[in-house]
Amino acid sequence: EPCAEIGPKSPSPATNLGLFDSHLSACITDMKLGMFETVTLHKAKKYAGRLGKDGPAHQRAAELVEALSMLAGSNPTSESEDILDFLLDRVESCEKDCTQFPTLIATAHILLGMAYKRLGDDRVKDSWETAVNVIDNPTSDSEASIKIAGLRRLAHLAIEQEDLEAAHKHATEALKLAESARLPSLVTRSVYTNAKVRMAAGDFVVAEGLLRSCIARLVPVSGRQIVTWDLLDLQDITQTYCGLLEKLTINNQSRKAEADLQSQKLTEIEAKHEVTAQAVESLRASLVEQCFINVFLPNIPLLLQAQY
């Protein structure tokens, strides 16, 4: 008897998940390098649609990456009003489809808050408070990362609004969570946020000490490569530290020379790690943050993070 016709075998769920991860990884990497491709994103969405009951949540993750690209201006459809409408829809769809993935819901609210802040909309605070409240007791690095990101944003917003009590509350909570989750980079950033709170309160001595401790954590040991995220933080913290020193005096003597010396040390580090410094410039333009990487790509290769 004739043999039965054998059709092409459908990819397994594991294969589709691998294809989704690889295409979403490519989207994130392209965005960090300023080369975002919508075709790659559409492919990620296509493979997400093949993931059965988990498909909608993965599609929402891809859509949040799309929203981030719109905020960064690397997506053709990046008009502020279009971004806001898109994000409002994403928040609604994430709350519907991602009940098992609170990080995606929280991320949607953080991105919506970023859009509100860009537009000068007072709803920014509500968005970031919702993001923080969505994750009650973090049980993973990704949950801790995104909650800390929300708390730090609320602290900086409170500083802008001169609500130092709220700023202190949010900054302290962020630091406690970063320490309990044992996430060194987030501890450093949270200490930096606390330093900004102390500066706003006029407590410059404590602020200086906190900033010095941050810098000590980030300066690479001789012969070691500094990773991109650390250099980005080191640049921000050094700029704040130098700005503080220039305003202070000791025994009626200006401390500008100390500020110039610290700035020179940073310049030397950037010169020794030129490729990493270039990658930092791309990161700043892309708006991609490490907390988003922890949410979207928990299995991103370490080499990729170190290089870009």
What SS3 class is residue 183?
A: coil
Distances (CA, A) of 250 to 117, 205, 259, 262: 38, 11, 13, 17
Per-residue pLDDT, 302: 37
Q: What is the mean pLDDT of the segment spanning 176-199?
A: 97
Per-residue pLDDT, 288: 87
* pLDDT digit string, tens, across residues 123-139: 999 999 999 999 999 99
Helix (H) or strand (E) holding 249: strand 249-250
Structure tokens at 124: 């920014």
Structure tokens at 57: 């949540």
Per-residue pLDDT, 8: 53
**pLDDT category, 81, cuts 50, 70, 90?**
low
Structure tokens at 192: 């930096």
Q: How confident is the prediction for the chain on average, in pLDDT? A: 89
**pLDDT category, 105, cuts 50, 70, 90?**
very high
* pLDDT digit string, tens, across residues 4-43: 444 456 678 788 888 998 999 899 888 888 778 889 999 9
Q: Tell whether the model's pLDDT for residue 308 goes beyond 70.
A: no
Structure tokens at 60: 């929402």
Neighbouring C-beta atoms of residue 2, cutoff 10 Å: 4
What SS3 class is residue 99?
A: coil
Per-residue pLDDT, 221: 87
Distances (CA, A) of 63 to 77, 94, 116, 135, 166: 13, 10, 18, 20, 32
Distances (CA, A) of 167 to 18, 88, 97, 112: 41, 27, 33, 21
Q: Tell whether the model's pLDDT for residue 304 goes beyond 50.
A: no
What is the rounded CA–CA span in Å between residue 69 and residue 28?
9
Q: Tell whether the model's pLDDT for residue 150 goes beyond 80.
A: yes
Question: What are the beta bridge partners of residue 250?
Answer: 253
* pLDDT digit string, tens, across residues 230-248: 999 999 999 999 999 999 9
DSSP 54: G
Question: Residue 113's closest CA among 79, 176, 71?
Answer: 71
CB 28 within 8 A of CB 296: yes
**pLDDT category, 306, cuts 50, 70, 90?**
very low
Q: Per the confidence metrics, is the pTM higher than 0.75?
A: yes
